[in-house]
Amino acid sequence: MQASHKSSRILQPVRPWFIVLSLFLALLLNMLPTRQWPAMPDWVMLVLCFWSVREWRKVSMGWAFVLGLAMDVADGAALGQHALAYVLLSYGATSLSRRMLWFPLSLQSLHVLPLFVLAQGIQLLIRMMAGGDFPGWEFLLSPLVTTLLWAPITLLLLAPQYRPVERDENRPI
């Protein structure tokens, strides 16, 4: 018996170059000048969380640390601010991965929302401890927009893994 939110299609294994490409593109999107707008999503956080949930053996906290350091250098932030937030996000996503994959995308979004808010809050806390000003409550818009993008990014990043729809009657799978 299939639930209406589950896909009956089988996924192919993800290619490592696709993971690296998607993380690199997310890093480039984060480096756009629009990054300073309050409602802009953190693309690295979103893609890193996705791969930490889906492919936790291939994308681990080491990737999160390296991407975090790259974002610290790109933003001119306190060294380790993004790195710590991304490592904790990756840890949380990895520990929730087995549970999350049983839910439809809308409920998966509810699972990742606290992770995104926590990661954003850690960055804010470190920024304020280093002497920065409180940006106002609009800093919560970024995790909300990032959460809203969970379903489209999931569908986009899973698209290359779907097997063709044609069925071969000689093969059961």
Give pLDDT tens digits for 115-154: 999 999 999 899 888 887 777 788 888 899 999 999 999 9
- Comparing C-alpha atoms, which of 20, 3, 5 is closest to residue 108? 5
Share of the chain above pLDDT 70, in %: 89
pLDDT tens for residues 71-106?
Answer: 989 888 778 899 999 999 999 999 998 999 899 988
Three-class HEC string of 92-157: HHHHHHHHHCCCCHHHHHHHHHHHHHHHHHHHHHHHHHCCCCCCCHHHHHHHHHHHHCHHHHHHHH
pLDDT value at 54 more than 80: yes
